[in-house]
Each structure stands twice: as structure tokens, then as C-alpha cells.
Structure 1
Amino acid sequence: MSAISHHIPDAMLTAYAAGTLPHAFSVVVASHVSLCLQCRAALEAHQSVGGAILESREKVAVSSSLKSDLLAQLDAPFRPEPVYERSGVYPGPVIEALKGRAPKWKSLGMGVRQDIISAGDEGSVRLLYIPPGQAVPDHSHNGLELTLVLQGSFSDETGKFGVGDLEIANEDLEHTPTADEGEPCICLAATDAPLKFRAFMPRLLQPLFQI
């Protein structure tokens, strides 16, 4: 894998460390951190600062029953959380979001496929499969879009993005991401609002594809 050159902004790492980042974006950030030593080190620094702040805060009174309530939970049945590891091009956080299953690809046309991992009021996260040389229709954004490359690469008006690179697109960016030659481009993409397509056909099919 070539060197990662597009990273997570510091403010987004701070929100992720604090647990305030929406779920869809958290899946992408966690996946990037699993691939990027630089952002992993930065995240650990944020977590250390957060821990120090908690330790320095004044003590807070708790109920007299708190200790007994905690001890009572020791008798509750214990169900260990499954541990998801990397599988192929998919990092552990992606496998966790998929709940251990393989991607279920659905065609978007022109060889492009997607698997919607989750979708809700706060946003959606999906896998995209783009054949070499194929472009995603020209679009802008109603909100924020994070795109993490898991295999291959793509290029648009802002540059080239390879494995591990994270593109962050906001309302100011209109672009036409195109998979580069070579192996198919597989991306993990998260949005907090529907995209804005310029062409009529993508706009017509947008509710069906939930993009």
C-alpha cells in the first residue's frame, strides 16, 4: 500500500474521541485509523488528553446505592462482544459494521455497485464498487461526505486518492470521482444528507438508490 496522504482533520478526530461523531462518520474514521499510523497516534493523543481532563475535574456525588447496583450486575449473564478482524480489503471496523457478513452488492448501473451498510436520520454509510475508468455521476453535496479508499484509487477535481486516503467533501465541492485504471476501486462512503446530482437520470433514480 502506498503512503497515505489524505488524513482525518483534527477537529473530526476530537469529536470521534469524545464520542460525539455521528455513527456513519465514526465507521469511516475508525476504518481510516485502522489503516493510518499517523491518525492512530493523533487519536491516542486526543484520548490521553480527554482522560487527563476527566481526572482533573471535581468529584461528583453519587447515589448511596451505586456500589451495590454495580456489584449486582456481576451476577448478570455475560455475553462477550464478537471481535471482528480485517477480511481481504475490508478493515475490522467495516466487518463489524457488516456484522461479519460479506458485502451484498446491488447494481447502480454502468458496472457501479453499492451495499448500504446502514441508513438513518443522522446519515448513511455504504460500500461502493467502481470499475476501472468508470465515473460516479457529477454531483455536489447538501452536507458532508467522507470517502475512504479500500482498494484501487480514484481521481476527481481535487486530486488522486489511493488506499487509506480519505476525501472530505462539503457543500462547496462539486466533483466527478472516476476510478483510475488498474483494479476496481472499492470505497467506504458516509453522508449526512442526500447528494445533489446535476444530470436528470441520477436525480430520478436517487430515491431508489438512497444516495
Structure 2
Amino acid sequence: MKPHHHLDDSTLIGYSAGALPAAFRVVVSAHLSICQSCRERMLDADAVGGQLVSLQEGASMSAEARNDIMSRLGARPAPPTAAPVRRGLDHDLLPQPLWPYFGETYSDLRWRTIGPGVHHIRSRGVDDGHLMLLRIAAGRSVPMHTHGGNELTMVLQGAYDDSLGHFAPGDVADLDSDVEHQPVTSPGVPCVCVAATDLPLRFSGWLARALQPLFKL
């Protein structure tokens, strides 16, 4: 698995400095667990993150939090390696950073239907931002939408296409409120993604807007 769509530099710096909401940190960790390119870029992000923390010496930050970040940045460890694979089960395993929030295997997931061919699972244990798994049937389109804030989505299985390109397993869409798109899943198998948002989506169509409070997207 070699991703072609990667994390923005600002996202990596925020992750390094401990400034991302919890839901976004989970998706970043999942991508880093399989993407060598972004793990290497984390070294540069660590250096920038350390400078940002230094500039915040006079800002409101607990001594414990500052010491933890500085300790991690100052150590300058080698880029993290990919999570170990359990032979014979790797096709059924979620990325290891997702295990505390959704469980270990796809076969144990319990999906909730939120529309024709669309299912989701809300994470457990994340209060800072919204974290969910989405499964969309092959050959379906998501309603046109923008984002009230930021969205970070990683493809786990299947694929989709939108105005930004083709997104396959491992790819991430690192989006802000300026992006309007309508993902269309590829034929063959359902598209499974993990997504983090900090504000609700903004759908263009009236029906999707009417149903949005029910599904809490």
C-alpha cells in the first residue's frame, strides 16, 4: 500500500506540536502507520513544532504539557515504523491506531445504516472532535457538500473519485471549508473510510440538509 494523497504540512506540524483535536490525531496516526513518506516528513514537522512550542513559552500552556511536547521533540526519534502485521489476519485488521476506538477487525464491526448503501460507526472514547467509520456501497455518490470546518478522511478499503482526484487505500483527503466536492465510490467493493471532523458538513441539496440532524454528520 503506497498512498498518493498525503497529509498537509500544517497538519503534520499540528500533530507534532500536540495542537490537533483528538479525532484528527487518530486519523493522522492511522495514516502514519502505513505511509513511509509522511513518517519521514514528520522529522521536519518535529523541528517546526519545537520552535512553535518555544514561541509559546509565555502563552497559556501547562508545564506538564509543555514538558511532554519538548521531551518528545527534543528526543528526535527515527520515523515510526509501520505497525506489526499478524500473519493470516492482515486482510481483516484495521490500522492499529484505530483499535481503541473501533476494535481490531473489520469482521467484528457493527454498522449502522444511515441511508441507501451508506453505513457508519461512531467512535468510542473521543470527545474532542467527531471520529467515525463510513462504509459506502460501490458506485454510489455522496451528496455535494462543503465543510463547516476541517475534515480529515483516510481510505481503508475500496476507493472513490472526486474533483480532487482518485483516492485509494491509504490515501488521505485533508480538507478545509474552501473545498466543495462530491465523492463517487469506485465499482467493485464498498469504500470504507475513517473520518474526523470538527464541525458538521454543509450539504448543498435540501434533502441531505433535512436529514443531517438525524444522522449527525
> 2:159 corresponds to which letter in structure 1?
S
Deviations 1:44-89 (A, max 9, x none): 45447767999xxxxxxx9xxxxxxxxxxxxxxxxxxxxx976625
Do 2:159 and 2:191's aligned partners in 1 also have CA atoms closer than 8 Å? yes
Measured in 1, the distance between the counterparts of 2:196 and 2:31 equals 13
Secondary structure at 1:189 match in 2:
strand
Distance in 1 between the 2:97 and 2:193 partners? Answer: 14
2:204 aligns with 198
Letter in 1 for 2:39: R
Find out whether 1:16 has 2:15 as its counterpart.
yes
Normalising by the residue count of structure 1, what TM-score does the alignment of the two structures yield?
Answer: 0.77
The one-letter amino acid paired with 1:180 is: S
DSSP 3-state at the match of 1:173: coil
Q: Structure 1 residue 96: deviation in Å?
A: 2.2
Structure 2, gaps ≥5 residues long: 54-62, 64-82
Aligned length: 183
Counterpart for residue 37 of structure 2: 38
How far apart in 1 are the matches of 2:4 and 2:204?
29
Q: Summarize the Cα distance change of 1:193–1:119 in structure 2 as closer, same or farther, 3 Å threshold.
A: farther
Structure 1: how far apart are the matches of 2:204 and 2:190?
A: 25
Q: Which has the larger radius of gyration?
A: 1
> For residues 176 and 50 of structure 1, what CA distance do their matches in structure 2 show?
34
Per the alignment, in what secondary structure is the counterpart of residue 170 of structure 2? coil
Residue 27 of structure 1 deviates from its aligned partner by 0.7
Q: Give the TM-score, by structure 2 length.
A: 0.75
Distance in structure 2 (CA, Å) of the matches to 1:85 and 1:112: 31
**CA root-mean-square deviation:** 2.7
CA distance in 1, matches of 2:152, 2:125: 15
- Aligned pairs for 1:91-130 within 5 A: 91-98=95-102, 100=104, 102-118=108-124, 122-130=128-136
| 8 A contact 2:22–2:127 mirrored in 1 | no
Q: Distance in 1 between matches of 2:152 and 2:100?
A: 18
Q: Is the 8 A contact 2:17 2:52 kept in 1?
A: no
Counterparts of 1:37-56 in structure 2, within 5 Å, are 37-47=36-46
Work out whether residues 85 and 95 of structure 1, in 8 Å CA contact, stay in contact via their aligned partners in 2: no
**1:21: Cα distance to partner?**
0.8
2:184 to 172, 178, 200: 178
Give the SS at the match of 1:148: strand
For 1:165 and 1:153, locate their aligned partners in 2 and report how far apart those are by CA, in whole Å.
Answer: 9
Cα separation, 2, equivalents of 1:96 and 1:85? 16
1:163 to 143, 164, 169: 169
1:140 paired residue among 134, 140, 146: 146
Task: Please state how far the C-alpha of 1:11 moved relative to its aligned partner.
Answer: 1.8
